[in-house]
Amino acid sequence: MRFTVKYTTLDGDVLVKEYEGTSPESVSLQVKSEGHYPLQIQAASRAASRARAVKTESLIIFNQELLALLRAGIPLLQSLELLVGHGKDPLLRRALEQVVEKVKEGRSFSESLEEVGSFPSVYRANVVAGERSGTLPEVLNRWLAFQGFAQKSRRRIFEALVYPMFLVLVLSVALAIIFNVVLPRFAEVYTDGGFPMPAPTRLLLEMGALARKTVWIQATLLILLSGAFRWMASRKSGIRLAERVMLALPKAGALYRMYHSSVFARTLSVLLAGGMPLLQALEVILRTIPSERMKSRLISVIEMVRSGSSLHSALSQSQMLDPLAVEMARVGEQSSALPEMLNHVADFFDQEVEKATTAITSLIGPSLILFMGIVVLGLLLAVYVPLFNAGNTIR
């Protein structure tokens, strides 16, 4: 949940900023941990929470250019001024103009990003960590590497699913043609010729006639089901139900758990490596994590860590991650190398998910082709066998 906070800084300035938290008390602790004093905390308006976010692709290009300018020794404000107006994304251009104006007024880069509100939470958190540690270029470089990996993973999964989706489309079109064009013609031939028809052929013709008579009912049901799925996808209860179903599947459930464990571990690794405290990094992940199941359990993890529990103990009690990730968190805490351990376990999960995805998608194509062949063969036999029988009878 987002809260609008009015607070004072150590310099006496009064600022307004939005925070994500589970309650006003947690937000108050977050504000105080940043060295500020909260004056007023209230729930953010829905209009503000629905602010459009800058596209990830545009943000990656912008940060590549910003990183090059910073490494060349150009000051941050001058670098931002050079980049204003660049790029094809109008939302990013408008957001950068506002950021530059706020930086000129004396605000930090991270505060300006927060007030504009069009930038992702994880990105803003990385900028905060980079400013506090004085290593903004290095933090931006890690964020770019993380986004590059995420983009590559999404592209690989999409490319793996293109061929199966094409086969499903071809099968659907073939069945539509058979039921709406081929079957009516053969039904007329069988009726006019008085040919005896086997039971499978009669059943097939009756199914075709029923499909044609109820086409509007089918279209209406399809629209209603589509609307119901979209409604469920927009509700937290519906998302949780879908996640429970996914986790109950034997192999897919393990892959789903590994994937979200990888996203959590890699994001936390990037934030901690940038110098952000553990508790604040967990609160940032709470705002960005896509899984409703993990989000509800992460709230309990944050509360346990805030009360003094270790990270691996809190993760173990919540059971939100794969056991291997919890074990690597324990090793990382004991060896003071938590970011490195989290990064290693994320790499391992990514390799496992990639291998399993490749194996599954490589089987989908042949399985669909075999299914299409069996369906088409069955349809052809049901349609043509009566003709062959009639020909033999005439002879």
Residues 132 and 154: their CA atoms lie apart, in Å, by 32
- Tens digits of residue pLDDT in 10-28: 766 666 677 777 677 778 8
123-159 residue pLDDT tens: 887 787 777 767 788 888 888 887 887 787 777 777 7
Interatomic CA distance for residues 232 and 236, integer angstroms: 8
Q: How many CB atoms lie within 10 A of CB 213?
A: 9
Whole-number pLDDT of residue 196: 66
Question: For the chain, how big is the Rg over CA atoms in Å?
Answer: 29
- Stated as kind and residue range, the H or E segment containing 238 is helix 236-248
Q: Provide the total of helices (H) and of strands (E) in the chain, helices listed first.
A: 18, 3
Taking the C-alpha atoms of residue 17 and residue 195, their distance in angstroms, rounded to an integer, is 80
What span, in angstroms and rounded, lies between the C-alpha atoms of 115 and 278? 23
pLDDT tens, the chain, 395 aa long: 667 777 777 766 666 677 777 677 778 887 887 778 787 787 764 434 445 678 888 888 889 999 999 998 888 888 888 888 766 778 888 888 888 888 888 888 888 887 887 788 778 877 877 777 677 888 888 888 878 877 877 777 777 778 778 878 887 887 777 777 777 777 777 666 666 667 777 777 777 777 778 878 878 988 998 888 888 777 777 777 878 888 788 777 888 888 888 888 888 887 788 777 888 788 878 877 777 788 888 888 888 888 888 888 988 888 888 888 888 889 988 888 888 898 888 888 888 877 887 777 777 778 878 887 888 788 777 777 776 766 665 55
Q: How much of the chain is helix, strand and coil, in % rounded to 5?
A: 75, 5, 15
Helices 236-248, 250-273: crossing angle, 10 deg rounding:
120
Q: Residue 2 forms beta bridges with which residues?
A: 20
What are phi and psi for residue 4, nearest 5 degrees? -95, 125
At residue 187, what are phi and psi to the nearest 5 degrees? -60, -40
Dist. CA 215–CA 317, nearest whole Å? 52
Among the listed residues 288, 292, 294, the one whose alpha carbon sits nearest the alpha carbon of residue 241: 292
Give the single-character DSSP code of 277.
-
**32-70 pLDDT per residue, tens:** 877 787 877 877 644 344 456 788 888 888 899 999 999
Question: Is there a contact between 5 and 18 (Cβ–Cβ < 8 Å)?
Answer: yes
Q: Say whether pTM exceeds 0.85.
A: no
Place of tokens 């879908």: 242
Report the distance separating Cα 312 and Cα 301, nearest Å: 10
> How would you label 18-48 residue by residue, b for 16+ Cβ within 10 Å and e otherwise?
bbbbeebebbbebbeeeebebeebeebeeee
The answer to whether residues 311 and 338 touch, using CB atoms and an 8 Å cutoff, is: yes
Decide if 283 contacts 28 (C-beta within 8 A).
no
Quote the distance between the C-alpha of residue 349 and its chain's center: 17
